[in-house]
Amino acid sequence: MFDPTDLYRLEEDSPELTDPVLLYHFDGFVDAGGAGRLAFGHLLAELEHRVVATFNVDRLLDYRSRRPIMTFDTDRWVDCESPELAVHLAHDATGTPFLLMSGPEPDREWELFTQAVGALTERLGVSKMITVHGIPMAVPHTRPLGVTGHATRPELLNTQTSPFGRVQVPGSVAALLELRLGAQGRDAVGYAVHVPHYLSQAEYPQSAVAALEAVTKNTGLVFPMEQLHEAAERTTTEIEEQIGASTELSTAISGLEQQYDAFAGGADRENLMAESTPMPTGDELAAEFQQFLAERDESDDQN
């Protein structure tokens, strides 16, 4: 019988907290627009934080499926960017402590990992766990981003009714944590931000803004958002420039706006998942935007 507590190491000076919230996100699963990755990257960049626990990635990861970057200098190896899956202690803008768990999604031992997280969060006194990520939807960037919430108890949600019915999708560790810990009576919440399908492969800061706003509404945690809002405004300006230079893109976005407004107005139609929308295709729109973003990055590098 494996001991799940062997999967993590708790720092000796681990804090004594009172009902903290734990935010979590794992790299590797669907995250359209980089919603979860950008949100967590922003929090770790803007807030002081320290590691309180680390997981044994040697047991959890398959290095051959995502090899770490190593640096070779002239005639020797000088560095290896070892992956880290850790829990950080941070404080929001009002000084309220909370925890962030982030890193690569485990490749193996999912059930034991969920037990380990359960034991660790119980040790740290976690009151609620919240995860965020982005999903591609046939929606225009000119309309407010929607957010689909899910939770271990209906009372934990503060979002509108879900547009989805009963579906089967590929699993993730984040979803398994919610399922298994919910079965134990633990509180867990997830928010999926609806990202325009033609921007799902690009970094879309607006999706991170929507994710963190959903977390704030649920928990009362207050985050510094100025830098993220500025990044979102720059991205919107760049997108509008691209659309203004392309009649095809302008027409496609207009079509999406009409579909979105009809759906929002209660018209009888299918849900807005990208895969079920025949016009315009995500590939066609994304190809033009990806070319534009690549040209922009090359220009930035030259400057």
> pTM (2 decimals)?
0.86
* Best CA proximity match to 285, nearest among 232, 128, 293: 293
**Cα separation, 219 vs 222, whole angstroms:** 9
Q: What is the mean pLDDT of residues 219-230?
A: 97
The token pair at 103 is: 């890193």
Q: What is the mean pLDDT of residues 32-57?
A: 97
Q: What is the pLDDT of residue 232?
A: 96
Among 36-50, 155-169, 201-215, the range scoring the smallest mean pLDDT is 155-169
List, for residues 102-130, the tens digit of each pLDDT value: 999 999 999 999 999 999 999 999 999 99
Neighbouring residues of 271: CB distance < 8 A, sequence distance ≥ 6? 163, 164
Binned at pLDDT 50, 70 and 90, residue 283 comes out as low
Binned at pLDDT 50, 70 and 90, residue 181 comes out as very high
Q: What is the pLDDT of residue 75?
A: 98
Among 33-37, 38-42, 164-168, 273-277, the range scoring the smallest mean pLDDT is 273-277
**CATH of the domain spanning 4-231:** 3.40.50.10900
- The amino acid present at 12, given as its one-letter code, is E
Among 13-17, 110-114, 150-154, 278-282, the range scoring the smallest mean pLDDT is 278-282
